[in-house]
Structure 1
Amino acid sequence: MRQSTAWLIRGLAVAIMSTLLNSGCAQAQTVSSVCDDSAFLAAQRTFENGGGREDLPVHVCGRVVAVSSRAKHTRSGWHGYFYVDVGSGVSIRIVSDLDEMNAPEWPWVAKGDQAEIVGRYYYDAPRRQGIDWTHHGTGRHWGMPGYVVVNGTKYQ
């Protein structure tokens, strides 16, 4: 009886943790310590082919191909936007929460700069995708801090 009770309690604990991790209440996110554009491109292809839609932690790098010269105010504050070429003819939109980042006045990135980004890849549709949570903060539904490195200078 005692052994079956222990197994029942262990099974319940595993089920509760699984539910918490999958519900967004507690997320343990990790990302490669080095830039991994190939993993990003594979995830993007999966999403574009109808695969999963969950947000993913990513670590990408490449050359900046476009910059929005003006910051935009949204319901969650001021944001700066730029695009990075991650290879294979793909550029991805990078969203920087300027209210949260320790960075100079926008724009602090320019076309041609080399950039490295850690953040959350979101995919809503082929023309509505990008990488956000590129700052040091975390939230209830995103537990991994991000950053942007431009020509060797780190902004978070």
Structure 2
Amino acid sequence: MRISRHSLATAAVALLLTATAIPALAQTVSPNCDNSSFLADQQQFENGGDKADQPVHICGKVVAVSHRAKKTRSGWHGYFYMSVGGGVSIRIVSDLDRMNAPQWPWVNKGDNVEVVGRYYYDSPRSQGVDWTHHGTGSSWGLPGYVIVNGAKYE
């Protein structure tokens, strides 16, 4: 059986696309808020474990808000910190250019929030949850959102 170069190249591209799409499609998160899994992941990272980005679904109270949006190389972002229990608060990053939300800030200290996104850990001082918007990409396939006092922003 003879396979043409074109067929081989087409098959190689299809395999590559499938291989890169699988991780994005495989990302899932609990349908309910799961702070205990988040805290376990965070503790594992701080103890030197694997620091791969994790999908999270967490909830708590807002403890601080950066009232000014900041422009980064990927657009305008809003930032707040939420308590997740055990004396731990985590930074939440919202891509304001991609979210269907009112003008920033749309969250205030004391608000109840629920967040789905990507937990990243670079170091104890550089960690947080981003990808809190409805979009996905080749490196992240889980749509995120933020619910503030029952209002959902994605």
Contact 1:29/1:144 (8 A) holds in 2: yes
How far apart in 1 are the matches of 2:114 and 2:53?
19
Gaps in structure 1 of 5+ consecutive residues: 1-15
Could you tell me which residue of structure 1 aligns to residue 81 of structure 2?
83
How far apart in 1 are the matches of 2:123 and 2:73?
21
Matched positions, count: 137
How far apart in 1 are the matches of 2:30 and 2:53?
15
How far apart in 2 are the matches of 1:51 and 1:146?
25
Could you tell me which residue of structure 2 aligns to residue 72 of structure 1?
70
Contact 1:60/1:116 (8 A) holds in 2: yes
Could you tell me which residue of structure 2 aligns to residue 53 of structure 1?
51
Could you tell me which residue of structure 1 aligns to residue 12 of structure 2?
none
Shift of 1:26: 2.9
> Could you list the runs of 4 or more consecutive aligned residues of structure 1 that deviate by over 6 angstroms after TM superposition?
none
Alignment-mate amino acid for residue 115 of structure 2: I
State the secondary structure of the residue aligned to 2:141: coil
Match 2:35 to one of 34, 37, 40: 37
Gaps in structure 2 of 5+ consecutive residues: 1-14
1:1-156 aligned at under 5 Å gives the runs 20=19, 25-27=21-23, 28-156=26-154
Alignment-mate amino acid for residue 76 of structure 1: S
Contact 1:117/1:134 (8 A) holds in 2: yes
How far apart in 2 are the matches of 1:52 and 1:26?
20
Contact 1:61/1:86 (8 A) holds in 2: yes
CA RMSD of aligned residues (A): 1.4
Contact 1:26/1:141 (8 A) holds in 2: no
TM-score by length of 1: 0.85
How far apart in 2 are the matches of 1:55 and 1:99?
22
CA offsets 1:3-39 (integer angstroms, 9 cap, x no match): xxxxxxxxxxxxx79x93xxx5432100000000000
How far apart in 2 are the matches of 1:141 and 1:109?
28
Contact 1:63/1:84 (8 A) holds in 2: yes
